[in-house]
Chains A and B, each alone.
Chain A
Amino acid sequence: MIFQANPFEQLLAVLAYWDRFLTGFLLTMWMYVWALFLGFLLGLLLALSRQYGHFFIQKIAIIYIEIIRGTPLIAQLFFISFLPNALNFSIDIMIIETNLFNRSFRLLDYPIFVGILTLILNSGAYQAEYLRGSFVSVGTGQLEAARAIGMSRFSSIRHIVLPQALRRVIPSWSNEAAYLPKYTVLVYFIGGVEELFSQADYIQHRTSFPFATYIIVAILFLITITLISKLLDTIHKRTSIPGL
């Protein structure tokens, strides 16, 4: 009979690798934050193009959004990852690394770049649709009123629609903020990125306690996403318009 440690001992054995959990987690969050914020800028650009752009620009935005939303993220990751090779060119990505817990900690190299880039391109399409929904919900009446006092189209969108749309989008946008950490783990499949799942894979092989390992991973996500939700909830309340 194979020796089986009790659950508590399993957790302790796994937690002995706390530094790997932590560096993996930090790398996952690092990619997440870039993807969320640059994805937001891309989403804003796409949503503005789709909602207020000229015919041709609208079509480009729609096609982009539909392609991204209609294909699996994992396929997009492989696509971006293999693209340079398939087209016979190479990209030199600067390597940025630092030291964390006496181990080198990579913030940027080619696979990390591919991961972040793909997540930005992917998340941008989803964020665009949340944003567009909130542009629509502000309605055309205020935009007309702004034009009627002589504001340009750009100025009306910038000063009237955007401040309200960005407030209104928070509850639905928090969906994306909560989903994205979990999408980020797919970067594991391009290989060579020491994010949380690759670290977890290492730990479960070393300890032979996969259950305990992935429980820790799950708890890390649960805590993180709960905090993100709470934070966005607070921001939503703080920025609400009095009387509405």
Chain B
Amino acid sequence: MVEPLLRVSDVSKSYDELQVLKDVSFDLLERDVKVIFGPSGSGKSTLLRCINMLNPPDKGKIFLRGNNITAPKVDLNTIRTRIGMVFQHFNLFAHLKAIDNVSIGLRRVKGLKKQEAYEKAFKALDRVKLTEWADHYPAQLSGGQQQRVGIARALAMEPDLILFDEPTSALDPELIGEVLQVMLDLAKAGTTMLVVTHEMGFARAVASELLFIDKGIIIERGTPEHFSVSPTSDRVKQFLQQLDVLYGSHEKLLDILDEEEKI
């Protein structure tokens, strides 16, 4: 059997009284892409933050290439260089140019010389098609460009996998496409990715499996086909229908508006 790149095993997390994750388990193979979706507050972001130990889980274990990273005395800084993270609100370093945002990890964490770090950072910027913007500061870039710098920053560290936390949900509709295109390219190039998103088109194109999370539990999991053809639980059907109304069928949205007018 192939050892999974990432194994999440019975992970639970609570904030005070509120249990955000309950016994979540799944595997992610090398070069695999999985999508996590579900209503807001369901624990999706917390799950990603448990995986790179920004918020360590209360219970359960996480293995990266077979190593238990939830064990005590693990060097988390080293572990985190191997797990990239792309944030919903980009979280770019506001005082640094795009090229420095991408190269700072190489320099300060991996100890590369400036020249060498810049060369690698430039390659990462090339993969997100932003080499011409290398000398711009985050505030001089559009949201879509900022998120692509965020992706390049993760890529430059050459991580084993990249976590995406709703990478397009803070973007204007017109800017979502350029970010999704970059993510599709990465997926096709064999990047291991765990993506929290509601972009079902992206999921259908590259995800091997979708995990639907609600109230901290994986309620249903399956291929993109499974979710588009025969989701089993009512909660998933209801959620997918809402997504469909908002993003898909224009007529249904008009129906809702009509009904509201009648009332």
Say if A and B assemble together: yes
Binding site for B on A (CB under 8 A): 141-142, 144-152, 155, 159-160, 163-164, 167, 241-244
- Minimum CB distance partner of B150 in chain A: A145
B54/A148 in contact, CB under 8 A: yes
Q: Could you give 19 example pairs across A and B, Cβ below 8 Å? A: A142-B91, A144-B54, A144-B87, A145-B93, A145-B153, A147-B54, A148-B52, A148-B54, A149-B109, A149-B157, A150-B79, A150-B157, A159-B108, A164-B94, A241-B94, A241-B137, A241-B139, A244-B94, A244-B137
B residues 49-103 with Cβ under 8 Å of A?
52, 54, 77-81, 83-85, 87, 89, 91-95
Q: How far is the CA of A91 from the CA of B93 in the complex (A)?
A: 48
B139/A242 in contact, CB under 8 A: yes
Q: List A contacts of B89 (CB < 8 A).
A: 141
B138/A155 in contact, CB under 8 A: no
B104 touches A (CB below 8 Å): yes
CB distance from B213 to the nearest CB of A (A): 21
CB distance from B79 to the nearest CB of A (A): 8
CB distance from A170 to the nearest CB of B (A): 14
A167/B80 in contact, CB under 8 A: no
A150/B105 in contact, CB under 8 A: yes
Q: How far is the CA of A146 from the CA of B85 in the complex (A)?
A: 10
B137/A148 in contact, CB under 8 A: no
B residues 139-174 with Cβ under 8 Å of A?
139-140, 150, 153-154, 157
A151/B105 in contact, CB under 8 A: yes
A241/B95 in contact, CB under 8 A: yes
A244/B85 in contact, CB under 8 A: no
Question: Which 9 pairs between the two chains have the least Cβ-Cβ distance?
Answer: A243-B139, A150-B81, A149-B105, A145-B91, A243-B140, A148-B85, A141-B91, A150-B80, A150-B109
Q: How far is the CA of A72 from the CA of B208 in the complex (A)?
A: 68
Binding site for A on B (CB under 8 A): 52, 54, 77-81, 83-85, 87, 89, 91-95, 104-105, 108-109, 136-140, 150, 153-154, 157
Q: List A contacts of B93 (CB < 8 A).
A: 142, 145-146, 160
B139/A145 in contact, CB under 8 A: no
Q: How far is the CA of A146 from the CA of B77 in the complex (A)?
A: 10
- Minimum CB distance partner of B75 in chain A: A150
CB distance from A162 to the nearest CB of B (A): 10
B95/A167 in contact, CB under 8 A: yes
CB distance from A152 to the nearest CB of B (A): 6
Q: How far is the CA of A160 from the CA of B96 in the complex (A)?
A: 9
Q: How far is the CA of A148 from the CA of B109 in the complex (A)?
A: 11
CB distance from A165 to the nearest CB of B (A): 10
A244/B109 in contact, CB under 8 A: no
Q: How far is the CA of A144 from the CA of B53 in the complex (A)?
A: 11
Q: How far is the CA of A144 from the CA of B95 in the complex (A)?
A: 16
A159/B85 in contact, CB under 8 A: no
B54/A150 in contact, CB under 8 A: no
If A145-B150, A146-B93, A241-B94 are given as contacts, then 8 extra A-B residue pairs at C-beta distance below 8 Å, sorted by A number, are A141-B87, A144-B91, A148-B52, A148-B84, A150-B79, A159-B108, A242-B140, A243-B137
A242/B137 in contact, CB under 8 A: yes
Q: List B contacts of A167 (CB < 8 A).
A: 95
Most chain B CB within 10 A, of A141, A148, A242, A243, is at A148
